[in-house]
Structure 1
C-alpha cells in the first residue's frame, strides 16, 4: 500500500495535508497522533471511505479508483462506530465474506470454514451465537478483527482497535497481531500510544493538525506541536518491492 502526498477535506475543512504512508507485505506501521490529528481520516481514505482530493493512493500497485480486489484488504473500524442491534458474533464475522460472494448466492462451505477459522483465531469460537452488544470491549474488537480476517486479506487496516479495551485484552490483541504479521500480513494500525504494540511495529508515523510530524515517534504523542508538523522535513522510506 502506498499513499503519497494525500490531501483530504471534509465539509470544506482541510483534514489531511500532504500526508504519505507506505506499508509493505509483512510490515506493521502505526499511525499516531492526538485527537483530531487526522488519523482516522487517513486510514478511511486508504480504504476508499473518504474521498482523496489530492495526492495518490495505490493498493497492491493499482490506483485506488481502479482497485476492485477488496477481499485482499481487511478494515477494522472502532467498535463504537458499529450500529447493530440483535446481530450475533457469527453474523458479524460472516459479513466479511461478502467480497467473495456473488449477489443473491448462499454461503458456500468455504465461506463457513473461513468464518469458523477466523473465530477460532481470535478466541471467540465459543461466543459465535452471542449477541454482539453483550460482549466486552476487547471481545468486540476481536469480533471486528475476525470479520476482517474472514475475508483472508493481505493488508489489515485498523482504526484504534485498543480504544476502550483493558490492558490484559490489549496484550492479547497485540500477540494476535504479531502472529498475523509473522505470517506475512501487512498492518496499518491507528493508535494513541504504542503500549503493547511497541514490540510488534516496524515503524510509526505521527500526525499533528493533519500533517506529518515525525517518524519513529516516542510512545506519547499527546503534546503535538502544529508548527513542527508545518515546518519539519520528513524523509519517507521507500516502498517495499512487491509488497504494496
Structure 2
C-alpha cells in the first residue's frame, strides 16, 4: 500500500531578485495558483495540497481562491525548513510522502510531478528523491547557474555541483552522462525531519546547494530521469515577462 501523499508549495514573499513574486499575475491569476493547478492535474487531490507562506497578503489571496494555506515562519533558511514546519504543524505521520513543488514554476509539467511520485513509491529505499534531465550543450555544462548531477548506479545521485560533472577525461567536450538537476523533491516526513536537524555542511556552503547537506550526512538521493527539462521558473522580472508572454500569447 502506497503512503499518503501531500504536496507543499512554498510561496515566500521576500525575494532578493523579485519581491512578492507569488502574487504576480498570469492570465488573471497569481503565480502560485498556476502551480497549484499543475499539481491537481498530476492527480493530487486539492485537499492534499498546502501553500506555505510567510505573508498575510499571499495567505489572504490563497484563501480567496480556496487553496489551503498555512502561515509559516519568516526566518526559515530554506524551503525545506518551511516544508518541515508544515509537516509538524499538520501532524503528518512519518511515512507520509511530501512533495516540494516550487511556487515560482507555473509551467512545471504535471507529468513530471506524477513521474516523481511514481518513482518515489517504487523506490522507498531512497531517503530523498528528485528529478534530472540530460544536458545537451557544452554551454549548459559550463554554466554555473545550471546544477549538474553525477548519477551512479540504479538511479542514485552521487553528487551535485555547479561545475562540469562527471568530467570525461578522454573526450572533454562530450556531454554524455551529464545531467541537469530539476528542483523538485520528495521526502518522507521522517527523512524531512532528519534532514532539517543537520547544520549547514561545508560543501553545501561552498556550492550553495542545499541537497549536499543530505549527501554529506549519509542520506541517499534517488533521481528519476526526464527527457526534457521543464521551462525555467521565475527568478527575475525578465523571467516573469518571458513566461507571461508565453502563457498569454
TM-score by length of 1: 0.27
Task: Tell me which of the two structures has the higher relative contact order, counting C-alpha pairs closer than 8 angstroms and 6 or more residues apart.
Answer: 1
